[in-house]
Amino acid sequence: MLNATWYDASSEVAVYVKLPRGFYISTPVGKYNPDWAIAFHDGKVKHIYFVAETKGDMSTMELRDIEKAKISCAREHFRAISAGSVVYDIVDSYKTLLDKVMK
């Protein structure tokens, strides 16, 4: 699971924030609250901004259909508002996060 200790120990991360409950994306199936927003130092990674939904164990992750729909809407939301400059995805560790950002 991602938490502040991952980001504090990382030289790649410029700033991070646990998004408050008041930050949400309206979707056709209800409000959706991503977990984290992370900005990386420019030049060290391909993507500078990352919004993450964190899950404990990706191998056994069983998402409810409504959560899958909200996550799908969030992907489209961040793609639409940022012209692809904000990456949104599900991650379960800092390594997974970096793997996705370093693509």
pLDDT tens digit string along 4-48? 666 666 777 888 888 888 988 898 988 888 888 888 877 765 555
Query: What is the per-residue pLDDT for 70?
Result: 86
What average pLDDT does the structure give for the chain?
A: 75
Measured distance CA(2)–CA(11) in Å, rounded = 16
Measured distance CA(94)–CA(68) in Å, rounded = 22
Q: pTM above 0.85? A: no
Whether the CB-CB separation of 97 and 13 falls below 8 Å is answered with no
- Dihedrals phi, psi of 28, to nearest 5 degrees: -60, -20
Q: In 3-state terms, what secondary structure has residue 83?
A: coil
Q: What does the DSSP 8-state code read for residue 5?
A: H
Domains of the chain: 4-101 (3.40.1350.10)
